[in-house]
Amino acid sequence: MFELSKDHEDFRAVVRDFAETEVAPHIGAWDRDAHFPTDLVPKMGQLGLFGLVVPEEFGGSQGDDGADFTALIVAIEELGRVDQSIGITLSAGVGLGINPILTYGDDEQKERFLPDLVAGTALAGFGLTEPEAGSDAGATRTRAVRDGDEWVLNGAKAFITNSGTDITSVVTVTARTGTNPDGTPQISAIMVPSGTPGLIVEPPYRKLGWHVSDTHGLTFQDCRVPVTNLLGAEGEGFRQFLKTLDDGRIAISALAVGCAQACLELSTDYARTRQAFGRPIGANQGVSFQIADLAVMVDAARMLTYKAAWLKDELHLGRRSMQDVKQAASIAKLYSTEAAVTATRIATQVFGGNGFMEEYPVARFFRDAKILEIGEGTSEVQRMLIARGLGLPA
């Protein structure tokens, strides 16, 4: 059911070659220097990576049936197999940057932002998380007050990917715009272009991992944008962003599969060549059994991820429900990300002392993996969603 088409496998080969020629030779230095490779993003755009789920009228390559989310998942996995930071740049650039505008924007908003985002000459961010609103995204404190034909924003966002690069063009943010009849905050989504007065991009974070990924906090101080920058209907922002996260969970799952696949390949190669007590360490069951477990985890994670992506494409075709996608996304995200963290621990152990050295890629994957269990909904949130999907009481 989930076997990839020949076109998808051919596309995988193209992306793998790109990752190994354009990323792999440089990633060690980029990671060491926490350097965001701005020049790489247009190359990703030229390869068509940002336009896989975007219609041709905006520069993308999506077919008439609107279904090729699976191709995006293939690309994220292959980039993530070489480096997680580059993988999340694509994942966030499409899932969190392009997708909200594509799904909820009007024609003018799409025409204004999408062509450059698809071409890779611009990036967009997604501002949901706040210093006091992480998993509890409904606790958003950022406010937007209508003043004539403008929204005036005040507040702060935290941990926002692709928000402070030289080519960042816009960040879509959630903000309170009023109060619902039941007393809950009315949350709307508003696009804030880069360079808008009152938008302050904070210094980049010093992170455990994802050193090559661009991540900043954002502060809004009487930041004014036109009322036409409202994305979708007023008060629909929270629902829009939750739906956006469903797709993002499948993308993070693909990133985790790429991480685990890299650990499997690196561990297998090392165990064949590393000698101890006169023979390769892979001859010892203590090592070989761990690598065998790794292979099982990779296969299971990949199947869950591609099932979720297939269901997403089936949803486009009207053959599956949103609940099918939501449940599969949470299951894939939970299993794959926890498997990736375990995979990096196993790989580091196989490499022994060398696994603790930054010269070896497993050290970078070890640092990068932990965030996978946190971003796009923590493992605890995924378990909660899965339980609710089974009909258990909220």
pLDDT digits (tens, 9 = 90+) for 298-357: 999 999 999 999 999 999 888 999 999 999 999 999 999 999 999 999 999 999 999 999
Q: Quick check: helix, strand or coil at residue 5?
A: coil
Q: Give the 3-state secondary structure of residue 357.
A: coil
User: Model confidence over 94-144: pLDDT tens digits?
Assistant: 999 999 999 999 999 999 999 999 999 999 999 999 999 888 877 899 999
Is 150 a known active-site residue? Answer: no
Using alpha carbons, list the distances in angstroms from residue 74 to 8, 180, 250, 251, 302. 8, 41, 11, 9, 10
Q: Are 250 and 332 in contact (CB under 8 A)?
A: yes
CATH among 1.20.1050.10, 1.10.540.10, 1.20.272.10, 3.40.630.30 for 6-123? 1.10.540.10
Class of domain 126-235: mainly beta
- Active-site choice (22, 78, 130, 376): 376
* CA separation for the pair 127, 156 (Å, rounded): 9
Using CA atoms, how far apart are residues 235 and 189, in angstroms rounded to an integer?
8
Sorted by where each begins, the domain ranges of the chain are 6-123, 126-235, 238-389
pTM for the model: 0.96
Helices (DSSP H) in the chain: which residue ranges?
Answer: 6-18, 27-33, 40-46, 69-82, 84-92, 99-104, 107-119, 237-273, 285-316, 322-351, 361-369, 379-389
d(CA 138, CA 147): 24
CATH fold label, 238-389: Butyryl-CoA Dehydrogenase, subunit A; domain 3 (1.20.140)
Q: Are 380 and 135 in contact (CB under 8 A)?
A: yes
- What would the pLDDT profile of 182-241 be if each residue is shown by its tens digit? 888 999 999 999 999 999 999 999 999 999 999 999 999 999 999 999 999 999 998 998
Cα–Cα distance, 343 to 331 (Å, whole number): 18
